[in-house]
Amino acid sequence: MAIEPVRIGVVGCGKISGVYFQNAARLAATRVVACADLLPERAAAAAAQHGVPKACSVEELLADGDVELVVNLTVPKAHGPVNLAAIGAGKSVYAEKPLAVTRQEGRRTLAAAAKKGVLVGCAPDTFLGAGLQTCRKLIDDGAIGQPVAAVAFMLCGGHESWHPDPEFYYEAGGGPMLDMGPYYLTALVNLLGPIARVTGSAQASFPTRTITSQPKAGKVIRVETPTHLAGVYDFACGAVGTVIMSFDVKAHSLPRIEVFGSEATLSVPDPNGFGGPVRIRRRGEKEWTDLPLSHPYAANWRGLGPADLAVAMRTGRAARAGGELAFHVLDAMLAMGDASRLGRHVKLKSTCSRPAAMPADLAEGELD
């Protein structure tokens, strides 16, 4: 389907922005016309590197009538304010994950967008890639029978050993759940549908962390958020999910995601990527079978989400990586901390539809 490309303004020209700039030029639905950053020299460098016509301040970008869609790549605690400012300027917005750091901020974002008649989208868009879409098709086609349970594990030692600016990972609004949980929970909702209730435990295992990466080696960070969270997610379809997210584990041999069905177990690739191996082990079999990927977009295609939102803007169809899904995932992530504090199950007040599956016969660069 040929549409006029949606004109994008990128806010935040840090490390993650490069792949967004690159892929926006490769996807038929998007064209970057402006970029902005709190550091003007960083916006100017990004514009020069990626051929963006205009580098400017955030205020100038939001006031630019040529910009239709703001791609918000700021740090997590700025997602909500920048989203609301873009919506207030009459623009649709696609944010890096998470949608916001509080439910109140997330609800305000969706309500403001509805009032303005604009759309909201949010990362991750990795679930639109070949790996997770292959798994989605297998489940939808009945390859594992009835899904009964799933596990999801993201365990590492934290980011202070390699990231140049790791402080925000340990601030309120950071931590492994809000940082990496969106990949895992979005993948599970895509595969199994919405979550009904949550319970779990959360703790900050260490009160401080010491940066060992350059250029801030030796700086001590005060930890303001849980860094190890373990919980149970009950899905509306009846499946039970076990989820652990941690910055406190030095080594492990657990899978990233597995989905257990009445007839087979499905090994799901890393939800932080677009491709990866898909394996199945059926009832009675002694070995795993590697399966070919059934869908396109196996490389690093960050930017599929804004492109999908762009198609939704032009055609009126629902966005796959849309605001309803992003808020439900935010609600489910925060619920684990709530459950730990309250000592009980937390029933979610939000829900969402499973996003539409991607067609298997797409050419790269297309969404529909």
pLDDT digits (tens, 9 = 90+) for 320-358: 999 999 999 999 999 999 999 999 999 999 999 999 999
| pLDDT value, residue 15 | 86
- Are 148 and 91 in the same domain? no
pTM of structure: 0.96
Give the separation between CA 124 and CA 133, rounded to whole angstroms: 14
How many Å from the N-terminal Cα to the C-terminal Cα in the chain? 6
pLDDT digits (tens, 9 = 90+) for 138-166: 999 999 999 999 999 999 999 999 998 89
Give the separation between CA 278 and CA 191, rounded to whole angstroms: 14
Cβ neighbours of residue 327 closer than 8 Å, sequence gap 6 or more: 99, 103, 106, 107, 110, 350, 352
Give the separation between CA 72 and CA 145, rounded to whole angstroms: 39
127 DSSP 8-state letter: G
Distances (CA, A) of 75 to 61, 82, 136, 357: 18, 10, 30, 29
Q: What is the mean pLDDT of residues 165-193?
A: 95
- DSSP letters for 77-118: HHHHHHHHHHHHTT-EEEESSSS-SSHHHHHHHHHHHHHHT-
| pLDDT value, residue 314 | 97
Q: Is residue 80 part of a domain?
A: yes
Least confident of 169-178, 302-311, 314-323: 169-178
Give the separation between CA 272 and CA 220, rounded to whole angstroms: 28
- Are 45 and 81 in the same domain? yes
Give the separation between CA 256 and CA 218, rounded to whole angstroms: 32
- Of all residues in the chain, the percent with pLDDT exceeding 70 is 100
- Are 13 and 96 in the same domain? yes
Give the separation between CA 129 and CA 234, rounded to whole angstroms: 25
Q: What is the mean pLDDT of residues 194-198?
A: 98
- Are 117 and 94 in the same domain? yes
Task: Determine the Cα angle at 195 with ends 191 and 200, to 5°.
Answer: 115
Q: How many domains would you assign to the chain?
A: 2
The boundaries of the domain holding residue 233 are: 130-291
Contact 29/23 with Cβ under 8 angstroms?
no
Q: What is the mean pLDDT of residues 354-363?
A: 96
Q: Is residue 328 part of a domain?
A: no
| pLDDT value, residue 1 | 60
Place of tokens 């006031």: 63
Phi first, then psi, for residue 77 (nearest 5°) are -70, -15
- Are 136 and 279 in the same domain? yes
pLDDT digits (tens, 9 = 90+) for 205-260: 999 999 999 999 999 999 999 999 999 999 999 999 999 999 999 999 999 999 99
Contact 232/241 with Cβ under 8 angstroms?
yes
- Each as own residue / partner, the long-range contacts of residues 60-63 (CB below 8 Å, 24 or more positions apart, any chain) are 60/36, 61/9, 61/11, 61/34, 61/35, 61/36, 62/9, 62/86, 62/89, 62/91, 63/89
Q: Is residue 348 part of a domain?
A: no
- Are 278 and 177 in the same domain? yes
- Does pLDDT of 360 surpass 70? yes
Q: Is residue 332 part of a domain?
A: no
In the chain, DSSP finds a helix count (H) and a strand count (E) of 9, 17
- Are 116 and 36 in the same domain? yes
Q: Is residue 360 part of a domain?
A: no
- Of all residues in the chain, the percent with pLDDT exceeding 90 is 96
Question: Which CATH number does the domain housing residue 259 bear?
Answer: 3.30.360.10
- Does pLDDT of 184 surpass 90? yes
Q: Is residue 352 part of a domain?
A: no
| pLDDT value, residue 242 | 98
Q: How many CA atoms lie within 13 A of 264 on its CB side?
A: 19
| pLDDT value, residue 80 | 94
The two three-digit tokens of residue 218, written as one number:
């030796």
- Are 179 and 107 in the same domain? no
- Does pLDDT of 2 surpass 90? no
- Are 75 and 148 in the same domain? no
- Are 95 and 219 in the same domain? no
Q: Is residue 347 part of a domain?
A: no
Determine the distance from the C-alpha atom of residue 314 to the mean position of all C-alpha atoms in its chain, rounded to a whole number. 23
- Does pLDDT of 172 surpass 90? no
| pLDDT value, residue 214 | 95
Which one of 239, 270, 291 terminates a domain?
Answer: 291
Give the model's confidence band at 75: pLDDT under 50 very low, under 70 low, under 90 confident, else very high: confident
Give the model's confidence band at 286: pLDDT under 50 very low, under 70 low, under 90 confident, else very high: very high
Give the separation between CA 183 and CA 235, rounded to whole angstroms: 17
Q: What is the mean pLDDT of residues 272-278?
A: 97
Question: The sheet that has 30-36: what strands, in order across it?
Answer: 55-56, 30-36, 6-11, 69-72, 92-95, 120-122
- Are 317 and 239 in the same domain? no
| pLDDT value, residue 357 | 97
Question: Which CATH number does the domain housing residue 91 bear?
Answer: 3.40.50.720
pLDDT digits (tens, 9 = 90+) for 24-50: 999 999 999 999 999 999 999 999 999
Count of other CB atoms within 10 angstroms of residue 368: 14
- Are 135 and 195 in the same domain? yes
> Please, what sign has the CA dihedral across residues 316, 52, 60, 39?
positive
- Does pLDDT of 302 surpass 70? yes
Q: Is residue 358 part of a domain?
A: no
